Amino acid sequence: MVIELERVAMSYGGSELFADISLKVQAGSFHFLTGPSGSGKTTFLRLCYGALLPTAGQVRLFGQDVRDLGRDGVAHVRRRVGVVHQDVQFLDHLSLADNVALPLTVSGRDTPDQMDNLDELLNWVGLRPRAAAFPAQLSGGERQRAALARAVIMSPEVVLADEPTGNIDWDMSQRLLTLLVELNRMGTTILVATHDMNLIRAAKSQVQARVLRISGRRLQLAGADL
Amino acid sequence: MTRLRNFLAALAALVIGDPQADRLVPPTGFTARLTTFAAGAMAFLAVFALALSLAAGRLADRWSRDLAQASTIRISAPPEERAAQTAAVLRILEATPGVVAARALPPDEAARLLEPWFGPDLPLDTLPVPQLVEVQEAAVGFDPQGLRLRLSAEVPGAILDDHTRWRRPLVAAAERLRGLGLMSIGLIGATTAAMITLAAQAALSANAQVIAVLRLVGAQDRYIAQAFVRRFTLRALTGAAVGVALAMVAVLLLPAAQEEAGFLTGLGFQGWHWLVPLAIPPLGALVAYLATTAAARRTLTELP
């Protein structure tokens, strides 16, 4: 299992967001996480890459309890987990190419070979001609694709995407989904939090995805009609 | 041992640097200039505090040496009793704790002492010039009151003139001044550390988003801290080097010191002391390194 949650609860300021959630995410699987706004999808994802600790229960990433990881351990986990947020953050003073290469830079793997891969990766997400552009010059769709490229440049075992299509049009959403499906076919575990049911329906025609829903502070397996 | 190895590794990383890591933190022009200016100004002040301290030290040493040299006993007696009284004084001095040596000044030496007032070829035997006995004190000194009492009892014509005693408070003052100079250097160092800590904390807080992005892509806190620490350390080193250079030129342009000159004209460096200010830039950089490391560790722990 790459991610395991066991009887996990999460509270903010005494208010319980969800409780008693258990989940095992197998390597190579594709999951959608859905639920109404404020149900805790983002919090759930943050638990899955060690950005938050649960108030109760246990979260294991690659077999290790996140409570035992420490800050350095979490940093190492994040090299194995690519993350894409709805509100993508970049370093504004660096070019798109430098931003996408950030995970390589901070892990000291920015070798010439790896930088060749960067070109291929930018080509894969269709941003090669925009490599020298700065984040402020990118459109919403370009930012999302750049974020995906940054998330996968270390060839992570897991990609977590939080409303990746929230700020982009349907065509761009489809394009992003195709990239995620391609990654999954290459063996990457994918977990996408979204409230976009059309995206989920579109995905189910391309990949065998499990759909989870946070509802009433519990995690449920959503119906097959989705 | 491991700590030392870690420290040396950190120092090597600091000196060699990582151009890629340095680029990750956005440039902060105004803060950078302020930090460099503050480090330079503090280094400038530190050089003057050092010059003051070293000059005060030299003064204290010189006055201390003078103190340790001589007191004088003046024997005013009729010529026929002079030899006996001189011998009695020397005997008393031999038995006085704190007296290292004593000798009666021969007539030619006494004549030389009076030469500035009476001119050369002074016929001492025609003048009622008292016999002088020079007393060499040990560092601890002797009990002048006790010696006076003994002299008045046994050699009534002998008078102790411990003319160097007035210098004792001056030596104490000079030593206090040296201490104050050193304390000022300490305060300057502490102020530099405080200013750089504030600047580093402000820079770290202002770059919270950068830190969040770096963490998201797997950067360890020490990697993030390194980028800030290196930047502030180099700024402090540059500022301090410029400040020291300017201060040393300023000290060089002070009026030249003379052997018997007053304190103000002796305020400068002498001999190898000119090398001492060169330690200020690396020390300033070390202070900046420690202050920024502590600030980075604290801020990164506080940031989510």
Contact A91 B26 (CB under 8 A): yes
> What's the gap in Å between the CA of B30 and the closest CA on chain A?
17
Q: Are residues B157 and B180 in the same domain?
A: no
Question: Which CATH number characterizes residue B108's domain?
Answer: 3.30.70.100
Q: Which two tokens stand for residue B132?
A: 């002088």
**Residue A36 falls within a domain, yes or no?**
yes
> What's the gap in Å between the CA of A100 and the closest CA on chain B?
10
> What's the gap in Å between the CA of B40 and the closest CA on chain A?
29
Contact A107 B214 (CB under 8 A): no
Measured between CB atoms, does B303 come within 8 Å of chain A? no
Q: Are residues B249 and B212 in the same domain?
A: yes
Q: Are residues B178 and B231 in the same domain?
A: yes
Q: Is the ipTM of this complex over 0.90?
A: no
Domain boundary among B117, B135, B163: B163
Q: Are residues B204 and B75 in the same domain?
A: no
What HEC string does A139-157 produce?
A: CHHHHHHHHHHHHHCCCCC
Which of A12, A52, A102, A159 to mutate to test binding with chain B, by most B CBs within 10 Å of its CB?
Answer: A102
Helix boundaries (H) for chain A:
41-48, 70-78, 96-100, 102-106, 112-124, 140-152, 170-185, 197-204
Q: Are residues B175 and B42 in the same domain?
A: yes
| Total of domains in chain A | 1
Measured in whole angstroms, the distance separating CA A212 from the mean position of its chain's CA atoms is: 15
Give B215's contacts in chain A (Cβ within 8 Å): 75, 78
Phi, psi of A95 (to 5 degrees): -70, 170
B130 neighbors B76 (Cβ within 8 angstroms): yes
> What's the gap in Å between the CA of B234 and the closest CA on chain A?
21
A→B interface, C-beta within 8 Å: 51, 71-72, 75-76, 78-79, 83, 89-94, 98, 102-103, 105-107, 110, 150, 154
∠ CA B141-B142-B143, rounded to 5°:
135
Give B17's contacts in chain A (Cβ within 8 Å): none
Q: Say what the pLDDT of residue A134 is.
A: 95
d(Cα B12, Cα A2) in Å, to the nearest integer?
37
Measured between CB atoms, does B220 come within 8 Å of chain A? yes
Q: Which two tokens stand for residue B301?
A: 């722990």
- H helix and E strand count, chain A: 8, 10
Host domain of residue B120: 71-163
Strand order in the sheet with A81-84: A81-84, A158-162, A189-193, A30-34, A210-215, A218-221
Host domain of residue A11: 3-86+154-221
Residues 100 to 159 of B: which have CB under 8 A from any A CB? none
Burial grade of B76 (CB within 10 A; 0-12, 13-18, 19 or more): middle
Give B218's contacts in chain A (Cβ within 8 Å): 75-76, 78-79, 103, 106-107, 154
CB pairs under 8 A between A and B: 53
| Total of domains in chain B | 2
Give the model confidence (pLDDT) of B44-86 as tens digits. Answer: 999 999 998 888 888 887 777 766 667 888 898 888 888 888 9
Q: Are residues B11 and B91 in the same domain?
A: no
Q: What angle do the packed helices B280-302 and B29-69 form, to 10 degrees?
A: 130
Give A92's contacts in chain B (Cβ within 8 Å): 26
Contact A90 B213 (CB under 8 A): yes
Domain boundary among B133, B163, B193: B163
**Residue A142 falls within a domain, yes or no?**
no
> What's the gap in Å between the CA of B250 and the closest CA on chain A?
41
Greatest Cα pair distance, chain B, in angstroms, is 104
> What's the gap in Å between the CA of A11 and the closest CA on chain B?
16
Contact A78 B26 (CB under 8 A): no
Residues 222 to 281 of B: which have CB under 8 A from any A CB? 223
Measured in whole angstroms, the distance separating CA B247 from the mean position of its chain's CA atoms is: 16
Share of chain B above pLDDT 90, in %: 20
B93 neighbors B100 (Cβ within 8 angstroms): no
Q: Are residues B88 and B221 in the same domain?
A: no
A7 neighbors A69 (Cβ within 8 angstroms): no
Does an H or E element contain A17, and which?
strand A15-25
Q: Are residues B36 and B108 in the same domain?
A: no
**Residue A31 falls within a domain, yes or no?**
yes
The closest CB to that of A106, out of B26, B27, B218, belongs to B218
Q: Say what the pLDDT of residue A90 is.
A: 92
**Residue A120 falls within a domain, yes or no?**
no
Q: Which two tokens stand for residue B143?
A: 């009990």
Of residues B96, B224, B68, the one with CA closest to residue B154:
B96
Q: Are residues B277 and B200 in the same domain?
A: yes
Q: Are residues B195 and B89 in the same domain?
A: no
Q: Are residues B136 and B238 in the same domain?
A: no
Q: pLDDT tens for chain A, 226 residues: list them.
A: 899 999 999 998 888 888 888 999 999 999 999 988 888 899 999 999 998 999 999 999 999 999 998 888 888 888 899 999 888 889 999 999 999 999 998 888 877 777 778 888 898 888 999 999 999 999 988 998 999 899 989 889 999 999 888 777 888 888 889 989 999 999 999 999 998 888 898 888 888 999 999 888 888 877 544 4
Q: What angle do the packed helices B221-252 and B280-302 form, to 10 degrees?
A: 150
Q: Are residues B152 and B230 in the same domain?
A: no
Half-sphere exposure of B48 (CA within 13 A, CB side): 13
Question: Which CATH number characterizes residue A207's domain?
Answer: 3.40.50.300
B259, pLDDT greater than 60: no
d(Cα B16, Cα B272) in Å, to the nearest integer?
31
Greatest Cα pair distance, chain A, in angstroms, is 50
Q: Say what the pLDDT of residue B29 is.
A: 66
**Residue A65 falls within a domain, yes or no?**
yes
Measured between CB atoms, does B11 come within 8 Å of chain A? no
Contact A72 B221 (CB under 8 A): yes
Domain boundary among B98, B129, B163: B163
Give A98's contacts in chain B (Cβ within 8 Å): 23
Residue of B nearest to A91 (CA): B210
Q: How confident is the model at residue B278 (pLDDT cuts 50, 70, 90)?
A: very high
B229, pLDDT greater than 50: yes
3-state secondary structure of B159: strand
Cβ of B180: how many Cβ atoms within 10 Å? 15
